[in-house]
């Protein structure tokens, strides 16, 4: 019989979709039976108490968690988020219920051995409840006690070759798409850049000195599979400078129905014959494509890398050869001022190891500015909004570029300063009046 | 500035403010030390390593305090 009655939680089980309540009950029963004879290092009934306190919160309409704390592992200011229950007498299994953030492997590639090791560790020293993955991308371990934190950290770093992720006012665990490992659209090696910056900025990841959180995310192409443009303070999106490569024979094969569009992704129902005009050319946002007889033509100067044509006809159209990435800054979720998408600050930069230019000319100047002038709990995007994109351009030491403007007159942020204007603001009014009547 | 000087400035500064608050943002410490954030960070890191300061984190924001101060230690059953 369950330790706590949970009539309200049970309502969640009755719906048509799978419920986390089912999962938790299954785990609670599994821990109680303990068929694997695990020497649980935290209370066996942690999951039952988790269900119990959630039921109580539903009943009272308020939380019974106390969030945040001084707990962590030695030398690290992030990766552990303290959580305590305010009803420890009735729910002793969750008196401490700390979260640990574990850095995810690049591109979230796992071997099953690795997952088993993580789960075994967490069954032994934690609640067994995980979140795969948290919003930042980390593997989230939910619920353990303070004495287990150092033990888990030791196992992770010495036996599983994995580190804790970022939390608090730190650089958060950088996240990337699968990149060139599996994807022909990737314009740079996302995993190499992600790993390189993770290693380079270990101090920023583990020892908090920023005004607030800071996120890097890496998309190999403008398809944006990790949505870096919306989810990171500095977003790295692969792009190319030259022309889309066209294989006219393959274009003809798509038109003739030999190749399924979108690599067969929509083949679940009959959409009729492929219509290149309707499905590709008319959908081009910059109207830069047309058919010249049987030849597909693209005015590449007008292309804005929306990726639609390449996605529909991957065997006929390929990304260009002069590849690199664009950097956008300032995306954030809506805590203050509403959500913001990233703003383009570097239209094109080569992404070649050791990435010195990216580090020294973009990341570090941005950090220096934000650390000095950002208010407490102010995200980079909010600082950009407060001081203006012109200030960002000054910080980076680059010239304004039309590509930084979303559309004419929407963000006219460039104002002349006195030292940029010949003669400054001073003028001889008498001289002026000689040429201009009052 | 040497480490000892920075340490004294921080400990003195935080002790003075103990009555009104026990947790401080990194920028508060950098101002006490009087250095730019990157330079101040080296001193602050060392103070944490030596146990002169401790981290506090809500999960989204990190702060610093003198160990054992404020309600936190008692509230978390850590004292």
- pLDDT mean across residues, chain A: 94
* Span A295-322, pLDDT tens digits: 999 999 999 999 999 999 999 999 999 9
Structure tokens given for A298:
């693209």
**Same CATH fold assignment for domains A7-159 and A245-318:** yes
pLDDT score of A44 more than 80: yes
What is the fold of A245-318? Alpha-Beta Plaits (3.30.70)
CB-facing half-sphere around the CA of A208: CA atoms within 13 A: 35
Q: Does A208 touch chain B (CB under 8 A)?
A: yes
Cα nearest neighbour of B50 on chain A: A75
- Would you place residue A189 in the very low, low, confident or very high pLDDT band (cuts 50, 70, 90)? very high
Q: CA A359, CA A121: separation in Å to the nearest integer?
A: 36
Could you tell me where the DSSP H helices lie in A221-307?
Answer: 228-231, 248-255, 276-279
Burial of B75 per CB tally in 10 Å (0-12, 13-18, 19+): middle
Closest alpha carbon to A108 in A142, A78, A138: A138
- Would you place residue A46 in the very low, low, confident or very high pLDDT band (cuts 50, 70, 90)? very high
Tokens 């066209």 correspond to A246
Structure tokens given for B48:
């944490």
Give the model's pLDDT for residue A411: 59
The verdict on a CB contact (< 8 Å) between A84 and B41 is no
Please report, to the nearest 10 degrees, the dihedral formed by the alpha carbons of residues B45, B50, B53, B56 taken in order. Answer: 70
The verdict on a CB contact (< 8 Å) between B57 and A77 is yes
What angle, 0 to 180 degrees and rounded to 10, lies between the N-to-C axes of helices B26-33 and B37-49? 100
Domain boundaries, given as residue ranges, for chain A: 7-159, 175-241+323-419, 245-318
Among A62-76, A186-200, A215-229, A285-299, the least confident range: A62-76
Contact list in A for residue B26 (CB cut-off 8 A) is 169, 208-211
Closest alpha carbon to A343 in A286, A415, A400: A400
CB-facing half-sphere around the CA of B39: CA atoms within 13 A: 11
- Would you place residue B68 in the very low, low, confident or very high pLDDT band (cuts 50, 70, 90)? confident
Q: CA A106, CA A110: separation in Å to the nearest integer?
A: 9
The verdict on a CB contact (< 8 Å) between B59 and A208 is no
Give the model's pLDDT for residue A365: 97
What's the whole-number mean pLDDT along residues A337-362?
95
Residues in chain A: 438
Residue of A141, A145, A168, A211 to mutate, interface with B, max B Cβ within 10 Å: A168
pLDDT score of A131 more than 90: yes
Superfamily of chain region A175-241+323-419:
Sulfite Reductase Hemoprotein, domain 1 (3.30.413.10)
* Span A240-259, pLDDT tens digits: 999 999 999 999 999 999 99
Cβ-contact A253, A247 below 8 angstroms: no
- Do you find a cis peptide bond into A354, omega within 30 degrees of 0? yes
Give the model's pLDDT for residue A416: 78
CATH class of A7-159: alpha beta
- Would you place residue A400 in the very low, low, confident or very high pLDDT band (cuts 50, 70, 90)? confident
* Span A67-87, pLDDT tens digits: 888 999 999 999 999 999 999
Q: CA B11, CA A155: separation in Å to the nearest integer?
A: 35
3-state secondary structure of A387: helix
Cα nearest neighbour of B69 on chain A: A70
pLDDT score of A335 more than 90: no
Most confident of A261-275, A403-417, B58-72: A261-275
Give the model's pLDDT for residue A421: 85
Domain B3-75 has CATH 1.10.645.10: no
Q: E strands, A211-305, where?
A: 216-219, 234-240, 245-246, 289-292, 295-298
In sequence order, the 6+-apart residues with CB closer than 8 A to the CB of A94 are A46, A49, A50, A53, A85, A143
Q: Does A86 touch chain B (CB under 8 A)?
A: no
């Amino acid at each position: 019989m369950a330790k706590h009655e949970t009539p309200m939680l049970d309502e969640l089980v009755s719906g048509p979709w799978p419920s986390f309540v089912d999962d938790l009950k299954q785990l609670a029963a599994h821990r109680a039976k303990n068929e694997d004879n695990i020497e649980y290092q935290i209370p066996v009934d942690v999951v039952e108490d988790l269900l119990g306190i959630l039921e109580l919160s539903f009943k009272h309409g308020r939380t019974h968690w106390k969030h945040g704390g001084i707990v962590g592992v030695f030398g690290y200011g992030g990766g552990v988020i303290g959580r305590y229950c305010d009803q420890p007498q009735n729910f002793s299994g969750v008196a401490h219920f700390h979260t640990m953030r574990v850095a995810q492997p690049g591109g979230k590639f796992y071997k099953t051995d690795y997952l088993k090791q993580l789960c075994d560790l967490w069954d032994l020293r934690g609640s067994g409840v995980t979140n795969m993955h948290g919003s930042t991308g980390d593997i989230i371990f939910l619920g353990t006690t303070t004495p287990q934190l150092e033990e888990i950290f030791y196992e992770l770093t010495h036996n599983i070759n994995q580190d804790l992720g970022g939390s608090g006012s730190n650089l958060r665990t950088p996240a990337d798409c699968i990149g060139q490992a599996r994807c022909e659209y990737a314009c740079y090696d996302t995993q190499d850049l992600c790993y390189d910056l993770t290693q380079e900025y270990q101090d920023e990841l583990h020892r908090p000195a920023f005004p607030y959180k800071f996120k890097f995310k890496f998309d190999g192409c403008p398809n944006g599979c990790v949505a870096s443009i919306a989810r990171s303070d500095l977003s790295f999106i692969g792009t190319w400078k030259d022309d889309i490569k066209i294989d006219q024979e393959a274009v003809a094969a798509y038109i003739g129905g030999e190749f399924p569009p979108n690599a067969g992704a929509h083949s679940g129902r009959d959409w009729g014959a492929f219509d290149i005009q309707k499905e590709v050319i008319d959908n081009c946002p910059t109207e830069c494509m047309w058919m010249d007889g049987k030849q597909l033509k693209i005015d590449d100067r007008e292309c804005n890398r929306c990726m639609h044509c390449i996605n529909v006809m991957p065997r006929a159209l390929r990304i260009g050869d002069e590849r690199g990435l664009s950097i956008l800054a300032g995306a954030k979720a809506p805590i203050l001022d509403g959500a913001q998408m990233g703003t383009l600050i570097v239209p094109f930069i080569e992404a070649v190891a050791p990435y010195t230019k990216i580090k020294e000319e973009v990341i570090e100047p941005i950090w220096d500015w934000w650390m000095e002038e950002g208010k407490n709990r102010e995200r980079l995007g909010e600082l950009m909004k407060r001081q203006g994109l012109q200030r960002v351009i000054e910080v980076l030491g680059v010239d304004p570029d039309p590509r930084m403007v979303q559309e004419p007159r929407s963000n006219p942020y460039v104002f002349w300063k006195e030292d940029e204007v010949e003669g400054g603001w001073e003028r001889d009014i008498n001289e002026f009046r000689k040429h201009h009547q009052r | 500035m040497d480490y000892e000087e920075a340490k004294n400035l921080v400990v003195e500064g935080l002790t003075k403010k103990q009555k009104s608050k026990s947790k401080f943002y990194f920028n508060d410490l950098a101002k006490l030390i009087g250095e730019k954030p990157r330079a101040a960070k080296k001193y602050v890191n060392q103070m944490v390593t030596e146990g002169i300061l401790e981290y506090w984190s809500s999960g989204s924001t990190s702060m610093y305090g003198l160990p054992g101060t404020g309600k936190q230690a008692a509230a978390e059953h850590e004292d």
